[in-house]
Copies of this chain bind each other. A is one copy, B any other.
């Protein structure tokens, strides 16, 4: 296990980087159908949350809860979907997906539903600005 963390290229490819917390990279999934943030603890060789050190497990769940709460409030979400799956990309990453009763996948999960709709450059920039403003304090975002 190396101690030099490198974001899995498959996670990097479909996302924008919102910033970093003390533990994690914060990514915005490039799919305009669902506001969708992914936390990736910057620890090499970890695929399950319980493989993190105990203090890092606690930090991850604290970040996850703070993020979910902020997203729910900002987007006035009907529901948050929070999930660590990792069947395709084993590098530990936790999905936080804002769900609405009228979204394209409701009431099912979002995975495998339809096709990705990428953000326009302007929409992505505007959303990233908003997310950084909203998440800076609760996540101590850098």
Contact = CB atoms under 8 A, between A and B. Distances in A.
Interface in A78-129: 79-88, 90, 99, 106-109, 111-112
B79 A47 contact: yes
A80 B48 contact: yes
Q: How many copies does the complex hold?
A: 2
B68 A61 contact: no
Contacts of A82: 49, 83-84
Contacts of A58: 58, 61
Interface residues of A, number: 30
Nearest to A77: B48
Mostly helix, strand, loop or mixed at chain A's interface?
mixed
Contact of A81 (B87, B90, B112): B87
Given A87-B106, A108-B111, A109-B109, A68 B81 contact: no
A57 interface: yes
20 contacts: A47-B79, A48-B72, A48-B79, A50-B65, A50-B69, A57-B61, A57-B65, A58-B58, A58-B61, A61-B61, A79-B86, A79-B90, A81-B83, A81-B85, A82-B84, A87-B99, A87-B107, A87-B109, A108-B111, A109-B112
The 7 closest A-B pairs by CB, nearest first: A83-B83, A87-B107, A61-B61, A50-B65, A50-B69, A82-B84, A81-B85
